[in-house]
Amino acid sequence: MSPEQAKVTASSYWVWTEKAEKADPKRHRAGERVWEHYALEAPQKWLDEGLIVDRSEYTAEGQADLFEFM
């Protein structure tokens, strides 16, 4: 499989990052699930470029994490 075709699998599902939203705000919103056909398996390139992140690792800006209170 060529590097352009390499896929990564999410442990939960993929969401767009702030970087993706800034790059194309009409199509991507930070924290929203990526397109359905890429929800679980997405191009490695997107992860490498910082356009997607696993939902379990995403924290919205201004949102507190439970561990911040412990």
Whole-structure pTM value: 0.80
Cα distance between residue 42 and residue 12, in whole Å = 12
Residues 6+ apart with CB under 8 A from 44: 3, 6, 7, 8
- Each residue's pLDDT tens digit in the chain (70 positions)? 666 689 999 999 999 999 999 999 999 999 999 999 999 999 999 999 999 999 999 887 766 666 666 6
